[in-house]
């Protein structure tokens, strides 16, 4: 496995692979790798000749009041995980190289970026799409892998890839969960024992939504109201949003018909967690 | 020479070339090819194994009141010119394929896009950078060729290419001129005989600027004022802007020191023409 820090070095390595007609699978991450990431890497390993994992805590996707500085960066551990998983290249660039003085270009997906998480995280998705566009151009993958846990991010990146004609297949893999149902997230390490238990309201609310739909309830207002009740009882938890939207446009749905995305974000203490489920009205 | 209309077809052709380790030179155009375009094609022919010319009158770079509908589209003639010039692929996509329903992604370069031509052509450069990003991803060139006539466009595309890490070299070639000095432009066909003569004020104003700098005048306000006088006398001509800016940031310069870009845009009747010169204060 090769650890590459320079953009030029990564670009060159990718060019050589592509010139030989070999395929590249790419897993972009912010590090602090967990089993969710590992499932993406494993799938990339299976589908491609070469696997590239990037580790970059991208400053442009954090607002000033967010946890950029505090975000976990266990780089040695991450590298060991990649090596063990059979990754070929870890691309670990420096922020000053990714965003040099005079940087002023952004890739942005309208509409999709201003709803759900985009409402409370202004500029977040513009930061995500910009860094992903950069990484796509540097790594030149045939396939790129993202987790369904970040459902809005996945929808936005799919849209960008299609709209800007990146010659890349976007693969979205299922959310990986702890045994108790908590979705894997690098931010889970912020939680103390008590908060970890509290965080189970996310999956409980989603399960309730599923059960309600199974019982034939299609009115999303009613479902969201019941989900709110699950969470409202808890101290130390604040709801950011609970939404039921269509899968492509992420626009609120009034009555469930076909597949919808049920998504929510809550603050457990100071930690913001998200989760979602695709629910089908059979 | 192959004429390709589908995005997939072009993308596939490019992938095959890249897989063989061959290079692609790309000349993106809006058609109505003139000798300026030809000089770009010739250079691309010299530098690369394969040459791709795109012909696409890009709707997103025209404002509603501009000449999108009226813009010349002599496609048969353009194809014949490409064939004669030894082009390998003409990519001639349809607007509905480039911008399908639901399209919502834009690549934009801040600051540089809102000055000079960007002031009177709101959204123009965002349209340009978006379509160029798309074309870059479809054609996957090693080198792309642009004319210095569109100096601001060239600066913006260079910036985007660098910022988003496109693995592409941007080559900016000198402005091609008629014998009388008028810069070649697809929009020159809008001009009647009288207007064609009037249009010479552009090159006259630029020559004056050069002469003034050669005489040691460094105060840009004074130079611009003298350039205005050249044009102000003419009926039927309206100045959009005359600016002297630095080459990278396109910010107004007060005193000339080193190289600067002297750029201007005027309306000759209803036709908006631009021209520019890089002037060096030795």
Which residues in chain B touch residue A7, judged by CB atoms under 8 angstroms apart? 165
Helix (H) or strand (E) holding B278: strand B271-281
Same domain, A61 and A166: yes
pLDDT tens digits, one per residue of B160-180: 999 999 999 999 999 999 999
Same domain, A13 and A142: yes
- CB within 8 Å: A110 and B109: no
Q: Region B9-18: what's the mean pLDDT?
A: 96
- Extract the residue ranges of chain A whose pLDDT is less than 70: none
Same domain, A140 and A60: yes
* pLDDT value of residue A282: 72
Given B173, B203, B224, the domain boundary residue is B173
Q: How many domains does chain A have?
A: 2
* pLDDT value of residue A174: 97
Given A142, A173, A204, the domain boundary residue is A173
Domain, as residue range, for A6: 2-173
* pLDDT value of residue B233: 78
Q: Tell me, yes or no, if A15 comes closer than 8 A to chain B by beta carbon.
A: yes
* pLDDT value of residue A233: 78
Q: Is the ipTM of this complex over 0.90?
A: yes
Q: Tell me, yes or no, if A248 comes closer than 8 A to chain B by beta carbon.
A: yes
Does a structural domain hold residue A180?
no
- CB within 8 Å: A108 and B106: yes
| For chain B, percent of residues with pLDDT exceeding 90 | 98
Does a structural domain hold residue A15?
yes
Which residues in chain B touch residue A103, judged by CB atoms under 8 angstroms apart? 163
pLDDT band at B155 (very low <50, low <70, confident <90, very high): very high
Q: What's the length of chain A?
A: 282
pLDDT tens digits, one per residue of B22-61: 999 999 999 999 999 999 999 999 999 999 999 999 999 9
Helices (H), chain A: 7-19, 35-47, 75-84, 95-98, 117-120, 124-139, 151-163, 193-198, 200-214, 220-232
- CB within 8 Å: A19 and B15: no
pTM above 0.90, yes or no: yes
Same domain, B44 and B112: yes
Distance, in Å, from the CA atom of B114 to the CA atom of A167, rounded to the nearest integer, reads 30
Does a structural domain hold residue B181?
no
Does a structural domain hold residue B73?
yes
Does a structural domain hold residue B21?
yes
Q: What is the CATH number of the domain that holds A241?
A: 3.30.1300.10
Given A151, A173, A195, the domain boundary residue is A173
Which residues in chain B touch residue A109, judged by CB atoms under 8 angstroms apart? 104-105
Same domain, B65 and B99: yes
Same domain, A64 and A95: yes
Closest Cβ–Cβ partner in A102, A138, A160 for B105: A160
Same domain, B169 and B67: yes
pLDDT tens digits, one per residue of B77-91: 999 999 999 999 999
- CB within 8 Å: A248 and B109: no
Residue with token string 């479902």: A223
Which residues in chain A touch residue B107, judged by CB atoms under 8 angstroms apart? 105-107, 133, 164
* pLDDT value of residue A281: 82
- CB within 8 Å: A104 and B109: yes
Same domain, A80 and A195: no
Q: What is the CATH number of the domain that holds A143?
A: 3.40.50.620
Does a structural domain hold residue B210?
yes
Same domain, A231 and A166: no
Q: Which residue of A has its CA nearest to B157?
A: A105
pLDDT tens digits, one per residue of B198-254: 999 999 999 999 999 999 999 999 999 999 999 987 889 999 999 999 999 999 999
Q: Which residue of B has its CA nearest to A138?
A: B165
Distance, in Å, from the CA atom of B173 to the CA atom of B148, rounded to the nearest integer, reads 6
The CA distance from A148 to the nearest CA of chain B, in Å, is 21
* pLDDT value of residue B198: 95
Q: How many CB atoms lie within 10 A of CB A88?
A: 19
Does a structural domain hold residue B160?
yes
Distance, in Å, from the CA atom of B138 to the CA atom of B131, rounded to the nearest integer, reads 10
Find, among A108, A115, A159, A157, the residue nearest to A130 by Cα. Answer: A108
Does a structural domain hold residue A62?
yes
């Amino acid at each position: 496995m090769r650890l590459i820090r320079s953009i030029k070095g990564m670009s060159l390595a990718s060019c050589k692979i592509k010139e030989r007609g070999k395929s590249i699978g790419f897993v972009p991450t912010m590090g602090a790798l967990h089993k969710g990431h590992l499932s993406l890497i494993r799938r990339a390993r299976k589908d491609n000749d070469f696997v590239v994992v990037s580790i970059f805590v991208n400053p442009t996707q954090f607002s000033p009041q967010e946890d950029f500085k505090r975000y976990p960066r266990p780089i040695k551990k991450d590298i060991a995980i990649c090596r063990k998983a059979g990754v070929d290249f870890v691309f670990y660039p420096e922020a000053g190289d990714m965003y040099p003085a005079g940087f002023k270009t952004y890739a942005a997906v309208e509409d999709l970026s201003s709803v759900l998480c985009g409402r409370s995280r202004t500029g977040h998705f513009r930061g995500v799409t910009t860094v992903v566009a950069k990484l796509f151009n540097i790594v030149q993958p045939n396939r790129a892998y993202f987790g369904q846990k970040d459902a809005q991010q996945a929808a936005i990146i799919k849209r960008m890839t299609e709209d800007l004609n990146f010659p890349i297949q976007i693969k979205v893999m299922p959310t990986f969960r702890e045994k108790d149902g908590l979705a894997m997230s690098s931010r889970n390490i912020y939680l103390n024992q008590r908060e970890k238990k509290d965080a189970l309201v996310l999956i409980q609310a989603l399960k309730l939504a599923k059960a309600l739909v199974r019982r034939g309830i299609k009115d999303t207002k009613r479902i969201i109201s019941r989900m709110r009740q699950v969470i409202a009882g808890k101290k130390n938890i604040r709801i950011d949003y609970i939404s039921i939207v269509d899968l492509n446009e992420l626009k609120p749905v009034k009555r469930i018909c076909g597949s919808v995305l049920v998504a929510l974000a809550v603050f457990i203490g100071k930690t913001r967690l998200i989760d979602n489920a695709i629910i089908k009205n059979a």
